[in-house]
């Protein structure tokens, strides 16, 4: 338990963190990787370069300071981050390293304003927060290892099949190299894939949603190739997976993780909205719902640039032909001439509330969505404007969580 004085001091730093939070976390990562370069084998380098990780950590520290007197309020966020930590292999011994460098970064950025009293209070608070993470993650490691077909840390898999789904998305069917049982998962969860890319000094770990239903003898991930665009560098891992990883080769996977999961037993209509490669967890949810709990009204709504980059379209169309409860809708931002000739899409441009409400017809439904942050921000805004209950809105970020 934190003392009332410590809580008061932490609360008093909230306005400072609002202004200087990202500067502090940027300095923190600089210090961390200078002192402990081995941690570059854990962190996503692309998110570091783009500033996403620094912003996500700043938001987390800010939230912790705001709610330091009732940390139970941020327990859902703790669990969400803990899922990512478990899938990356974060261990208890990493927390003192992080704490030391975070306090030094606060001191570096704030200078004399970071008094010994403030640093002491934050050190005490960090200890309490770290203990919460360590406890939650210990349970997750134990559950991961003890479940049927489960394991701890990383396990060798081979690429059983590699299937091109569109011009930019390829699916990888991954089977355990030891031939053993495969841990189950909930639709919407993800795995971490660990790679040693030739010519790269560090191991690279990326998290990808599982894109098929549980219960298969493989895990499937469907990966978008991230090419260089608008000054953003190409995705080293996605390009390697597309261009160099071959069928029969080995990769290392963590057990499935994540709290963005579908309740397949619900009775209200189910609305699955996706943009771009955000359709991958939605396909897992769709396949699972229709196979195990048919009869529930399902709306599958996907936005893509055009048919050339639209993955798994025929698979979903085939499901719609077999399942009368499934209603499918495609939105193309920039349809090709072939798309127009084939009548391959239902709306040109972007999803908007009048169109969405006309399709679904009720706000008393369960809404799940995933895609690029601008897409998610737009969908979240529409649902709020429509008056959809907060408890019926579910979403997942690819990478560090941003603010919708």
Contact between residue 205 and residue 233 where contact means Cβ atoms under 8 Å apart: no
Structure token digits, residue 129: 């927060």
Residue 288 dihedral angles phi and psi, to the nearest 5°: -70, -45
- DSSP labels, 123-183: HHHHHHHHHHHHHHHHHHHHHHHHSTT--SSEEEEEEEEEEE-SSSEEEEEEEETT-----
- Nearest Cα neighbor of 95 from 55, 48, 52, 129 is 129
Q: Does the active-site annotation cover 95? A: yes
The H or E element that residue 309 is part of is none
Measure the CA–CA gap between 8 and 17, rounded to whole angstroms.
15
Confidence of residue 158 (pLDDT cuts 50, 70, 90): very high
Confidence of residue 60 (pLDDT cuts 50, 70, 90): confident
pLDDT given at position 399: 60
Q: Is 264 labelled as part of a ligand binding site?
A: no
Residue 8, by phi and psi: left (phi above 0), alpha (psi -120 to 50) or beta?
Answer: alpha
- In the chain, what percentage of residues exceed pLDDT 90? 80
Confidence of residue 107 (pLDDT cuts 50, 70, 90): very high
Contact between residue 300 and residue 272 where contact means Cβ atoms under 8 Å apart: yes
Who contacts 323 (Cβ-Cβ below 8 Å, separation ≥6)?
A: 290, 294, 298
pLDDT given at position 400: 58
Task: Map residue 188 onto helix, strand or coil.
Answer: coil
Confidence of residue 54 (pLDDT cuts 50, 70, 90): confident
Q: Give counts: helices (H), strands (E), the chain.
A: 13, 12
Q: Is 397 labelled as part of a ligand binding site?
A: yes
Measure the CA–CA gap between 153 and 90, rounded to whole angstroms.
9
User: Does residue 279 have a pLDDT over 90?
Assistant: yes
Q: Is 143 labelled as part of a ligand binding site?
A: no
pLDDT given at position 58: 84
User: Does residue 404 have a pLDDT over 70?
Assistant: no
Model confidence pLDDT, tens digit, residues 20-37: 999 999 999 999 999 999
Contact between residue 208 and residue 280 where contact means Cβ atoms under 8 Å apart: yes
Q: Does the active-site annotation cover 368? A: no
User: Does residue 402 have a pLDDT over 70?
Assistant: no
Structure token digits, residue 17: 């963190």
What predicted TM-score, i.e. pTM, was given to this entire model?
Answer: 0.93
- In the chain, what percentage of residues exceed pLDDT 70? 97
Contact between residue 177 and residue 253 where contact means Cβ atoms under 8 Å apart: no
Q: Is 281 labelled as part of a ligand binding site?
A: yes
The catalytically annotated residue of 137, 165, 226, 396 is 137
Measure the CA–CA gap between 162 and 175, rounded to whole angstroms.
12
DSSP letter at 364 equals S
What are the distances in angstroms from CA 196 to CA 200, 245, 270? 7, 11, 40
> Which residue ranges make up each domain of the chain?
4-146, 154-254, 270-396
Q: Is 244 labelled as part of a ligand binding site?
A: no
Model confidence pLDDT, tens digit, residues 299-316: 999 999 999 999 999 999
- Nearest Cα neighbor of 87 from 155, 172, 158, 153 is 153
Mean pLDDT calculated for residue range 84-100 = 94
Model confidence pLDDT, tens digit, residues 248-270: 999 999 999 999 999 988 889 99
Q: Is 276 labelled as part of a ligand binding site?
A: yes
- Nearest Cα neighbor of 210 from 243, 251, 253, 155 is 253
Model confidence pLDDT, tens digit, residues 320-357: 999 999 999 999 999 999 999 999 999 999 999 999 99
pLDDT given at position 33: 92
User: Does residue 397 have a pLDDT over 80?
Assistant: no
Q: How far is CA 351 from the centre of its chain?
A: 22
Measure the CA–CA gap between 28 and 333, rounded to whole angstroms.
40
Who contacts 96 (Cβ-Cβ below 8 Å, separation ≥6)?
A: 130
Q: Is 265 labelled as part of a ligand binding site?
A: no
DSSP letter at 1 equals -
Alpha helix ranges (H) inside 244-372: 279-292, 313-322, 337-342, 353-360
Structure token digits, residue 332: 């193309």
Q: Is 198 labelled as part of a ligand binding site?
A: no
Domain 4-146 architecture: Orthogonal Bundle (1.10)
Query: Mean of the per-residue pLDDT values for the chain?
Result: 93
pLDDT given at position 252: 98
- Nearest Cα neighbor of 224 from 203, 208, 246 is 208
User: Does residue 233 have a pLDDT over 80?
Assistant: no
Contact between residue 177 and residue 157 where contact means Cβ atoms under 8 Å apart: yes
From edge to edge, which strands make up the β-sheet containing 204-209? 204-209, 190-195, 250-254, 154-164, 169-176, 219-224
Mean pLDDT calculated for residue range 121-131 = 92
DSSP letter at 83 equals H
Structure token digits, residue 291: 């196979």
CATH annotation of 270-396: 3.40.50.80
The catalytically annotated residue of 95, 126, 141, 368 is 95
Domain 154-254 architecture: Beta Barrel (2.40)
* Topology agreement, domain 4-146 and domain 154-254: no
pLDDT given at position 231: 66
């Amino acid at each position: 338990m934190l003392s009332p004085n410590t809580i008061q001091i932490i609360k008093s730093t909230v306005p400072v963190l609002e202004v200087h939070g990202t500067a502090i976390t940027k300095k923190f990562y600089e210090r961390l990787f200078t002192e402990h370069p081995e941690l570059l084998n854990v962190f996503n380098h692309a998110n570091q370069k783009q500033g996403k990780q620094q912003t996500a950590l700043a938001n987390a520290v800010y939230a912790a300071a705001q709610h330091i007197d009732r940390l139970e309020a941020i327990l859902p966020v703790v669990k969400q981050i803990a899922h990512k930590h478990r899938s990356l292999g974060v261990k208890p011994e990493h927390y003192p390293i992080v704490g030391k460098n975070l306090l030094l970064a606060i001191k570096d950025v704030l200078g004399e304003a970071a008094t010994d009293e403030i640093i002491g209070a934050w050190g005490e608070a960090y200890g309490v927060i770290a203990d919460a993470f360590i406890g939650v993650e210990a349970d997750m490691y134990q559950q991961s290892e003890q479940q049927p077909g489960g394991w701890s840390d990383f396990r060798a898999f081979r690429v059983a099949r590699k299937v091109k789904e569109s011009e930019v998305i390829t699916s990888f069917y991954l089977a355990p190299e030891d031939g053993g049982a495969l841990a189950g998962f909930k639709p919407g969860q993800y795995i971490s894939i660990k790679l040693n890319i030739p010519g790269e000094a560090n191991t690279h770990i990326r998290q990808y949603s599982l894109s098929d239903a549980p219960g298969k003898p493989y895990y499937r991930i469907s990966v978008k190739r991230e090419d260089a665009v608008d000054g953003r560098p190409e995705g080293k891992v996605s390009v390697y997976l597309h261009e160099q990883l071959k069928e029969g080769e080995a990769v290392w996977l963590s057990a499935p993780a994540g709290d963005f999961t579908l309740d397949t037993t619900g009775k209200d209509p189910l609305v699955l909205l996706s943009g771009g490669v955000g359709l991958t967890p939605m396909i897992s949810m769709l396949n699972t719902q229709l196979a195990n709990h048919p009869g529930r009204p399902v709306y599958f709504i996907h936005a893509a640039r055009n048919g050339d980059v639209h993955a798994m379209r025929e698979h979903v169309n085939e499901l719609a032909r077999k399942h009368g409860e499934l209603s499918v809708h495609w939105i193309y931002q920039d349809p090709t001439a072939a798309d127009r000739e084939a009548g391959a899409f239902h709306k040109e441009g972007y999803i908007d509330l009048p169109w969405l409400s006309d399709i679904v017809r009720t706000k008393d439904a369960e809404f799940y969505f995933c895609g690029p942050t601008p897409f998610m921000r737009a969908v979240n805004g529409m649902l709020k404007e429509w008056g959809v209950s907060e408890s019926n809105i579910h979403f997942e970020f690819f990478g560090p969580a941003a603010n919708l």
